[in-house]
Structure 1
Amino acid sequence: MTISREHRSLLTGIGIAVTILLLVAGAIGVHRPILVLLMIAGVAGTVLSVARLLPGAIALSTTLATCIAIYTVAFTGGAIAVFHHAHWLGTTSGFLLPLLSFVAGVAWRRQAIRHQLARRRRSQRDRILVRGIGWLCLCFLVGIAVVAVVPPGENPGPATVSLIAAMTLISAITVWFVVDITALLNETGSLFHLFLIRMRSRIVPIFSFLIVFLFIGVLFATIYALLDHHTAQPAFAVAGTGTRLDLPDAIYFSFVTLSTIGYGDITPIDAMAQVLVIAEIIFGVVLLLFAFTEIAAYNPEADATDDQVEKDPGSGRG
């Protein structure tokens, strides 16, 4: 049985959202399986409901699932930091409220949303962007206000009430802006799809850059390890203490240096090691600048034309 592009995109989006949710659950400790299952059901139900209400909006469904995954991380982080004493049922309700309100808003304003999605004019996009940013700012202000007034202490009652109140207000704001939110998600999905198409067309230069990057990183790593094992004193310090580098540590240090990040947990203390590190940093800067330029300028169609001209030099003559 062949799966349509719409269903494939929908399943991919749901898979992304559920995967992120499971990762969040694993990161915070899966000690509330009912909470996790309810969240998964809420995510899948939201995406499927919107897809049913707005059939054909493939970009919208995929972007919605991705944004729900981001919302899951943000909500979980906020719940842990501020509302960690709230009852688990209140936490689940707070998580589901904006999702349910979004589905209800889409069902309520479905005709207006369809009309909005059909009008893809520049003026409409500017309005969507402004109102979408306004919606995000209002939700952010609600979060700040709740954090400022949430009562301290370990009593779950006040924390649960504050969480439910905040999410109820955010839900109301979401329903008010639902037309613009939907249009913004659809536009974002279209741009993301275009981004993926352009990325696929640049697989060759990206892969070439990775090969060169990995080669230089491994090359310097072996040089660091060899140098450190043939000097009288350790050439590198780990956490401020002179230590001989083994190959895994040398590889880690080499790629941190090549990418010009430099965490500082491993530092060169030998003169020759310092010279090598400077050389690798220069290689890294030049390589990154060259890579960005070549990847941005890469045009497979132009390369195909150049290859044809090389094979048949007379073809370009008048």
Structure 2
Amino acid sequence: MSEERHGIWRAVGFTVFFLLLVALAMGSVNLLQLAVFLLVIVSSLTYLLSVFPGSRFFSIAVANFLALYTSLFHFFLTTNFSSIDAELGVIGFTMPVLGFFGGTWLQRKSIKSIVLSHKNSDIGIRAGAARWLLPVSLIGIATFFVPAGSIPLLWEEAIFFLAMGGITLVVMVVSKQVATFLLDVGLLFESFFLRIESLIMPAFAFLTFYSMNVMIFGFIYRIIDHYSSAVHFSISGVVKPISFSESLYFSIITLSTVGFGDIVPLSHVIKAVVSLQIIVSVMLLLFGFSEIMSFSKSRPKANNSEARKKS
């Protein structure tokens, strides 16, 4: 299996996992809506990978955008059109999706040329690529002015399909601009993940020092409390000895300076140790991020020098 194809399946697998999280998070979605949602995702990936070959990041950007659209549609439907039947909601959901893919099919040649030339493009959102969001947003915002529960169901259904039809028409007409926008987003993701990949080792080293900080101070809290005759912590409002797992948990929230308040230090000794950990932790975060940023800036220079030696 080639590296490119392996990367495509890896990206598709991540996207499917992400979309399953979206579907499961919507606990009120019935089986019909879930089946249609997954069918739309699988069909869209298959369509894009077959019509626009070499468009891995474009395909994944579209799939993730569909997940965002699904979340917004669910909010839109439950907030403004809660009386709509599930079957009608499914039809309304698929209308803009079919409009987009219908538009991309009609303009597939020009979109394909953009997709295949993405490696020679500058990274960044092109001017005007997101203008289509304005009319789509205005249609969605307009539905919030519909008086909920005070109009007949037939009128509510008519307004719902009118809004979804307007969004479908806009998306279909400007499908090339939508595709360009999603391609730009895919390029940005590609650049971001490539930079993240080069920072795995320094990030791992930073997490090693981070975990050492958590464990060392967690052990100190446990040792002081366990081998002392006094009780040094109040846990959920109860003054009692701290357990081993609770000491590590307290060390983590102290290091992050979150301070939920469920575990409170009482003695002066523990308060002094907590103060010391906060100072050490802040210094660790500052120097750790500084080292990671220095590594990220020096890495391109090292790669360039290696490339010149090879040449």
TM-score in terms of structure 1 length: 0.79
User: Aligned partner of 1:111: which letter?
Assistant: K
Contact 1:13/1:66 (CA < 8 Å) preserved in 2?
no
Shift of 1:88: 1.3
Corresponding residue of 1:95: 93
5+ residue gaps, structure 1, are 307-318
Contact 1:237/1:268 (CA < 8 Å) preserved in 2?
yes
Corresponding residue of 1:149: 146
Q: 1:76 aligns with which of 63, 74, 77?
A: 74
User: Aligned partner of 2:32: which letter?
Assistant: I
Shift of 1:68: 2.1
How many angstroms apart in 1 are the aligned matches of 2:90 and 2:213?
49
Tell me if 1:192 matches 2:192. no
Q: 1:65 aligns with which of 63, 66, 71?
A: 63
Distance 1:220 1:300, change over 3 A: same
How many angstroms apart in 1 are the aligned matches of 2:88 and 2:34?
13
Distance 1:236 1:40, change over 3 A: same
Distance 1:177 1:31, change over 3 A: closer
Percent of pairs with identical residues? 26
User: Aligned partner of 2:58: which letter?
Assistant: L
Deviation digits for residues 160-187 of structure 1 (CA, Å, limit 9, x no counterpart):
5554443333222322332222122222
How many angstroms apart in 2 are the aligned matches of 1:129 and 1:262?
44
TM-score in terms of structure 2 length: 0.81
How many angstroms apart in 1 are the aligned matches of 2:70 and 2:11?
14
How many angstroms apart in 1 are the aligned matches of 2:151 and 2:158?
13
Contact 2:236/2:262 (CA < 8 Å) preserved in 1?
yes
How many angstroms apart in 1 are the aligned matches of 2:39 and 2:106?
22
How many angstroms apart in 2 are the aligned matches of 1:105 and 1:84?
30
Q: Secondary structure of 1:55's partner?
A: coil
Q: Secondary structure of 2:136's partner?
A: helix
Tell me if 1:250 matches 2:213. no
How many angstroms apart in 2 are the aligned matches of 1:238 and 1:158?
56
How many angstroms apart in 2 are the aligned matches of 1:38 and 1:178?
22
Deviation digits for residues 185-241 of structure 1 (CA, Å, limit 9, x no counterpart):
222222322222222222210110111111111222222223333455543334444
How many angstroms apart in 2 are the aligned matches of 1:161 and 1:279?
65
Q: Which moved more, 1:20-29 or 1:150-159?
A: 150-159
Tell me if 1:55 matches 2:45. no
Q: Secondary structure of 2:129's partner?
A: helix
Q: 2:23 aligns with which of 17, 22, 25?
A: 25
Say how many residue pairs are matched: 301
What do you get for the CA RMSD once the two structures are aligned?
A: 3.3
Distance 1:280 1:108, change over 3 A: same
How many angstroms apart in 1 are the aligned matches of 2:225 and 2:151?
54
